[in-house]
Amino acid sequence: MDILVSIKPVLAMAVSLAAAFLILITGESARNLRETWTILAAVIKFLIVASMLPQILDNKVIEYTLVSIAPGLLIKFRVDALGIFFGLTASFLWIITSFYSIGYVRSSNEHAQTRYFMCFSIALSATMGVAFSANMFTTFLFYEIITLCTFPLVGHKGTQEALKGAKRYLTYLLGTSVAFQLLAVILTYHTAGTLDFSNHGIMSAARDRGASDAFLTVIFVLYMAGITKAAMMPFHSWLPAAMVAPTPVSALLHAVAVVKTGVFVVVKIVLHIFGIDLLRQLGLGTALAYFSSFTIIVASVIALKQDNLKRRLAYSTVSQLSYVILGVALLTPSGITGSIMHIVIHAFGKITLFFTAGAIYIASHKTEISQLDGIGKKMPFTMAAFTVGALSMIGLPPFGGFISKWYIAIGSIEARELPIILVIATSTILNACYFLPVVYAAFFKEPKPAHTHSHGSDAYQSPVTHHPSIHEAPAMMVVPLIVTAIGVVALFFSPSRFLELAKIVVSSVTGGN
């Protein structure tokens, strides 16, 4: 495998940092210019990332060392098939999210918009840092930057509920990372003598040098407990609590940056820190597969009970993220392929669902599922996009979710873990049970008469619609959700480029390279 030295991965990060600075100095005085920086940086970032794709498809990797902190501690970047897979997904969806965010904050007249867009830009810069990290030190550094720059976004509204959710967000993500993941990184360096990612894992050599199986197992458990962004139970409650944030922030959390960096880092640890051979020998792949299966089922059951739309979507995310972990934990070619594919497929599907939730709120101020009877007649494009995202989450063809779940199912057969098939089937049924009633109510239920029930100082307006004023949200919000819904379908019919990247990853970690 040829190694090319290029500054492009650094430029992919730097463009958003430059945009954050320009957004800050532009401020509220020139909103159009401020938002132009946001869009321009997103487009340039995507073009830089896309320009590296031909080299990666040609079985090359791109490296660049930014700085050496100490012997063995380098801020170093390496663009390989897995990194560019995630980088392309995040940078493309960032363009769409930028347009949607502008429409949302203008329609809702959000306060502190400059801080909002600045933190968004820094978050995406850090996401590129994680995607292109060459070692666990660089990964950990940018992983923590994501936590810190998204904390103000979670608490953006400034209400008591928002501040409480932001506090839980920071406590869970930063606390567990420092307590567990940092310790795991230190022990990895002490045991393996390096933090550089390797196609076959760096801990196998540590075992050969005398590290006990029990000690290696402890390090692995520390990593899994410390990567709370992956939202595996019992370290998941921060995610539903963070739904107090504005909807574009929720989309950022669920589809573009935060939780995706969590599962991405889990995949990197499985494949490039421990390696599939060592995890098989330790039996940790099987343990992780069943632990993630537990999260898939339990989170789906909890989602059934949620009436708040964003909270239902949040528990859906907890469940769906564990599909990524399940696939890679199977340690088989098809399982790993399905895991990697689910990163992009879930990203498109879930961002579509959150975009629709935001559009519904802006157009009707409805947040509860029980309020949405008949809303599909008022907002047909929005609810059609919701339907596409929901069917992909369920895993039905012709939507992208079918592709990744199919590969994971085949992977479970390859691993001879047939109970996993039952987990996938049960999860599919549960997904249908909590998504399809929303679609049915929106399109086929008659709207109830609008009336108001007084509850002290609060008023609850019952379902939607005998409100002729309700209509589609502004085009700046509706067009992005249509684009991502089209992407969900396109990933079913034309997944070849992403599959090619996934298969390069599989080949490299299973001995093909």
Q: In degrees to the nearest 10, what's the CA dihedral of 261, 408, 299, 260?
A: 10
**179-218: pLDDT as tens digits:** 999 999 999 999 998 999 999 899 988 888 888 999 999 9
Contact residues for 482 (Cβ-Cβ < 8 A; gap 6+): 381, 385
User: What Å distances lie between residue 11 and 37, 42, 120, 261, 489, CA to CA?
Assistant: 16, 12, 17, 19, 32
**446-491: pLDDT as tens digits:** 887 655 444 433 333 444 444 557 889 899 999 999 999 999 999 9
The total of other beta-carbon atoms located within 10 Å of residue 160's CB is 9
**339-398: pLDDT as tens digits:** 999 999 999 999 999 999 999 999 998 999 999 999 999 999 999 999 999 999 999 999
End-to-end CA distance of the chain: 7
**323-333: pLDDT as tens digits:** 999 999 999 99
Prediction pTM value:
0.92
Give the strand order in the sheet containing 60-70: 2-5, 60-70, 73-79
CA torsion through residues 478, 33, 94, 508, sign: positive
Rounded distance, CA 413 to CA 150, Å? Answer: 39
CA neighbours within 13 Å on the CB side: how many for 297? 13
Average pLDDT over residues 308-336: 95
pLDDT of residue 458: 36
Contact residues for 447 (Cβ-Cβ < 8 A; gap 6+): 373, 374, 375, 377, 463, 464, 465, 466
Residue 311 token pair = 């909270």
C-alpha closest to that of 245 among 174, 334, 175, 154: 154
Share the mean pLDDT of the chain: 90
What is residue 114's three-state secondary structure? helix
pLDDT of residue 469: 76
Domain ranges within the chain, ordered by starting residue: 283-513
Average pLDDT over residues 51-77: 92
C-alpha closest to that of 316 among 390, 260, 264, 248: 390
Crossing angle of helices 81-108/113-131, nearest 10°? 170
pLDDT of residue 304: 95
Residue 156 token pair = 């953006």
Total number of residues shown for the chain: 513
pLDDT of residue 116: 87
User: What Å distances lie between residue 118 and 3, 19, 380, CA to CA?
Assistant: 34, 8, 33
What is residue 461's three-state secondary structure? strand
Burial class (CB in 10 A: 0-12, 13-18, 19+), 338: buried
Which DSSP letter does residue 463 get? S
The total of other beta-carbon atoms located within 10 Å of residue 27's CB is 14
pLDDT of residue 513: 45
